[in-house]
Structures are given as structure tokens and as C-alpha cells.
Amino acid sequence: MGKTLFEKVWDTHEVRRLSNGQTQLLVDTHLIHEVTSPQAFGMLRDLGLKLAYPHRTFATVDHIVPTDQQTEPFADPLADAMIKELQRNCAEFGITYFDLASGHQGIVHVVGPEQGITQPGTTIACGDSHTSTHGAFGAVAFGIGTTQIRDVLATQTMALSRLKVRRINVEGKLPPGVYAKDVILHIIRLLGVNGGTGYAYEYGGEVFDRFTMEERMTVCNMSIEGGARAGYVNPDETTFEFLKGRPYSPKEHEWDEAVARWRSYASDPDCEYDDVVSIRGQDIPPTVTWGINPGQAISIDDRVPTVEGSPEEEKALVDEALSYMKLEPGSPIKGTPIDVAFVGSCTNGRLSDFVETARYIKGRHVAAGVKAIAVPGSQGVAVICHEMGIDAVFREAGFDWREAGCSMCLAMNPDKLIGDQLCASSSNRNFKGRQGSPTGRTILMSPVMVAAAAINGGISDAREVFGVHILAEA
């Protein structure tokens, strides 16, 4: 019987079984950033340990960097101390660091693929739950805690329990105006925020076969929001095409060998999954969240749920969400006024997100009273956007065009909501307080839907705002 990609990767990376039954798993690629790594280096120093494979750890700075003015020292002394600490740790332990001056800095999950560091059939770990993004390349990628970062630094391994694999097929075609973000929001809405516990999600089917790498990354990115520790797509020609010629991709004769190896990791046709879920692409609507977790999502045409109309076991959480979000139960979500619009993050801060959004905002303007910001996921994305004139389109439409970073996805830098502002956001989490204000409110959606909301001043159906026939030509 054949094996899944997950099984193949696991088996080639299993070092040994530990006394508690977990696996000591080799981590090929370790990505670090300034927020979750400093304590790990502290632990390493306390134990007098060195790095086992320093050339397999790559660092960048993303969470705390200001996006308006990036000259050091930063105005925030705490942020400045963190970036200096990362600099010191990388220098002391011999780690490649894509810093602000490198031209390659950005959100760690944008930088890895951009540099060709993220490769099929590899194991990847990073102290960030959205590490599942890298699964888009057919890698098995885990978000880890700080103590595990220490483990990976010191041994290039970590202790982990094997996951089951759920195949999620999305068949057919997506309707015009429905994006990768809608696909993952729909999947989470269907399977629940903890439906993926114990699983890696393998995404496939015609919709994924046709998806670009960036679309696959958007879906894999939010696997964790569905409770799945990892999510991946089998590597194919689209994957290899994306990786060809990137700085860290294999070169010359090594390229063909690498492609052959990568191809061999794809799930076998006769492999057996622990679970299979099939969804029809045509059933997926433009999807928005209404509540305080990514599973609390509805179609743009739906009404905000009521407590009475919700299943018994969800009533308390629906009630909590409604009162936090200050939304009228039973009323249409469409038309809900917004204060802020955010396009960016490791979910939707890539080149195609800005290119696609720019097509529709060109010649239009953000509604009065709405603060709109666009934050490229990396310096690389920013440079190409500039060359293509995309940044100018955003600026002319009334967006603030910023420098690369995580920005308002989690608001560890100065980009924050104020009071109970409501934000139409292309990011990944609508948790209470997530965007920096304890009472701030987030509605998650695709970047094009964020643009529609920004231009209309309220939650809108991009198909209506921009014209479904125009979207269909995309």
C-alpha cells in the first residue's frame, strides 16, 4: 500500500523513538524571528549548548518592526531591544539573518518561500503557529513553542507525536470572486476550529491543482485556525516552477535530482487517509467572519447568527461573540460599517494579493472616515509592487502604503486598532483584542473583499462593488 506525503516525510526524518513514545524528528529547516526566539537562546546559554546545524536556521524580523519608519533605533525601546537581541544571537551563533538592511526582510512565512528555503519533502519548524504556510510546497511544517526552538537549535530535532492525515478535496471550480481565503474560511467553518486536532490536513482536488503557490500558501497558512497542526499540498509542476531560480533553490545538475526527490514525496495514489472530506468548489461563497474565532464565519449574503438559532453547545460562545462584536443578531452582515481596512499578513500579504486588489481599487477611493493600510509581506514584495506601480495605485486610492512586517495582524508594532474600531482584515485571527485594542473588532475576509469594504465604508460583496463580470475575467 502506498503512503501519504506526511508518512514519507515523517519516516525519512524519524531519528528514533523516545521513552515516552514520541518521535525524535529531524527538522531540516528552522526559521526564527525576534519574538519567540530570544528566550530560547537564553536557555541555550544557560545549558552551555551550541547549535547542531547553524546553517539550517534562518532569521528575519517581522512581528515588532514599525511599518511607517524603519530606521533604527525604533521609537519603541522594547522593540529596539528585541531586534538588537536577535542581531546579537544570530551573530554569536552564526545564523543567516535577513535583516532590515538586507533587502530580503519580511514576514518569516513570506521570506522562506521567496528565498527558495522552503522546499518539498522537508520538515520545517518555526516559533509561530502559521508555519503551516510552508506546507503549500509539500513540506511538513510545524509551529512550535520557545522551549522547542531551543531543542531545534541544540539538536536540529524535536519531540513530536505522529499525526493522522485528513485529505480535504475541493473539486470543480470556484465561482468568480471567490478566493483561496474564502476556501480556507469555508473549510474551518465546516470542520470547526478544533476539527483538525490530531491531524495534518492534506489539501487537494481540482481547485488546488489549479491554484498558484501563493493561493496554496493562503490556505495552508490557516490550517492551525482549524486546529490542524500542519497542512500541505502535494508538490507538482506549479511548485517546481515557483522554486526554480530562487536564491536557495538547488542549481544546475542538482536541480533535476532535487525535482526527482521532491516528486517522490507526493502522496501515492493508493495511499490510505485517516479521513477524507470533499467539498464542491461551486458551493464556496465569499466568506466573512462575524465572531471571535475564525470558525464563526458566514457567507457574505448571510445574516449574523442569533443565540436562539444556534446549536445548544454553541449558544454561550455565540452570545459572547455577539456582545463583543456589537453586531445585531439576525441582521445582514453586509453593510456593517467599518473603521479600518487592512491588507497584509502572512495569510494575504503576497504579491498576487496586492496585484489582484489593485485591479479593482484603481480609479476608486477609500470611503471617508475609513483608515486603510496596505502592508507588503516582505521587502521583496514591496520592491516588485513598486516596479509594477501597485504601490501608487493603493496610494491614489487612499491607502497608506507601508513597509514590510506583520503589522496590524497582531499589532505588536504601532499599527493598532483604537477602542472598539471595526477592521475589515485580510489577516488570520479575529480573536478578542487581537489587533491591539482590548475592545477592537476584526472581520476576516479576502483582500479583494477588504478593498470592497474600504471603498464602500462597510462590509460589502466585492462581486457587487466591482462587478462580477469583471471578477470573472480574472
Partner 1 sequence: MALKSIKRVKGRGVQVPGDAIDTDRIIPARFMKCVTFDGLGDYLFHDVRKNDDGSDREHPLNEPRFRQASVLLSGSNFGCGSSREHAPQALYRYGFRGIIAESFAEIFFGNCTTLGIPCLGLPKAAIQALACAIDRDPDLEITLDVELAEVRYLDQVSPATIRDSARTALVSGRWDPIGDLLEGLDQVHAVASKLPYMAT
Scan residues 390-449 and list those touching partner 1 (CB under 8 A).
410-412, 429, 431-434, 436, 438
Q: CB neighbours of 16 closer than 8 A, spacing ≥ 6?
A: 23, 24
As measured in angstroms, the least distance from the Cβ of 254 to partner 1 is 8
Helix (H) or strand (E) holding 259: helix 252-264
Q: CB neighbours of 207 closer than 8 A, spacing ≥ 6?
A: 170, 171, 172, 173, 174, 183, 281
List 3, 70, 116, 159, residue binding partner 1 (CB under 8 A): 159
Instruction: Give the three cell numbers for residue 369.
Output: 472616515
Please list every residue from 86 through 145 that binds partner 1, using CB under 8 A: 119, 122, 127-129, 131, 143-145
Please, which residue, 113 or 143, has the CB nearer to partner 1?
143
As measured in angstroms, the least distance from the Cβ of 439 to partner 1 is 8
User: Per-residue contact track with partner 1, 239 to 268, x per CB under 8 A?
Assistant: -----------x---x--xx----------
Residue count, binding to partner 1 (CB under 8 A): 80
Distance, CA of 199 to CA of 184 (rounded, Å): 16
Helices (H), 269-344: 315-325
Please list every residue from 315 through 334 that binds partner 1, using CB under 8 A: 316-317, 320
Which residues are registered as beta bridge partners of 31? Answer: 58, 126
Please, which residue, 289 or 456, has the CB nearer to partner 1?
289
Please list every residue from 356 through 395 that binds partner 1, using CB under 8 A: none
Please, which residue, 82 or 174, has the CB nearer to partner 1?
82
Please list every residue from 55 through 94 that binds partner 1, using CB under 8 A: 55-56, 63-64, 76, 78-79, 81-82, 85
Distance, CA of 211 to CA of 350 (rounded, Å): 14
Please, which residue, 159 or 383, has the CB nearer to partner 1?
159
Please, which residue, 292 or 361, has the CB nearer to partner 1?
292
476556501: which residue's cell?
A: 183
Choices 9-17, 108-116, 234-242, 351-359 (CB under 8 A): range interacting with partner 1:
9-17
Instruction: Give the three cell numbers for residue 134.
Output: 510552508
Q: In the 8-state DSSP scheme, what is residue 58? A: E
Please, which residue, 26 or 174, has the CB nearer to partner 1?
26
Contact between 194 and partner 1 per CB under 8 A: yes
As measured in angstroms, the least distance from the Cβ of 191 to partner 1 is 13
Contact between 151 and partner 1 per CB under 8 A: yes
- Sheet arrangement for strand 441-444: 400-401, 371-374, 340-343, 422-425, 441-444
List 133, 267, 289, 293, residue binding partner 1 (CB under 8 A): 293
Distance, CA of 228 to CA of 194 (rounded, Å): 8
Cβ atoms 372, 399 nearer than 8 A = yes
Which residues are registered as beta bridge partners of 422? Answer: 441
List 3, 24, 302, 457, residue binding partner 1 (CB under 8 A): 24
List 5, 9, 35, 107, residue binding partner 1 (CB under 8 A): 35
Question: 3-state DSSP call for residue 207?
Answer: helix
Question: 3-state DSSP call for residue 247?
Answer: coil
Distance, CA of 44 to CA of 46 (rounded, Å): 5
Other residues' Cβ atoms within 10 Å of the Cβ of residue 310:
17
List 45, 50, 72, 197, residue binding partner 1 (CB under 8 A): 197
Phi and psi, residue 61, nearest 5°: -120, 125
Residue 16, judged by CB atoms within 10 A of its CB (0-12, 13-18, 19+), counts as: exposed
The one-letter code for the residue type at 10 is W
Choices 32-40, 179-187, 231-239, 265-273 (CB under 8 A): range interacting with partner 1:
32-40
Please, which residue, 20 or 270, has the CB nearer to partner 1?
20
Choices 97-105, 146-154, 298-306, 396-404 (CB under 8 A): range interacting with partner 1:
146-154
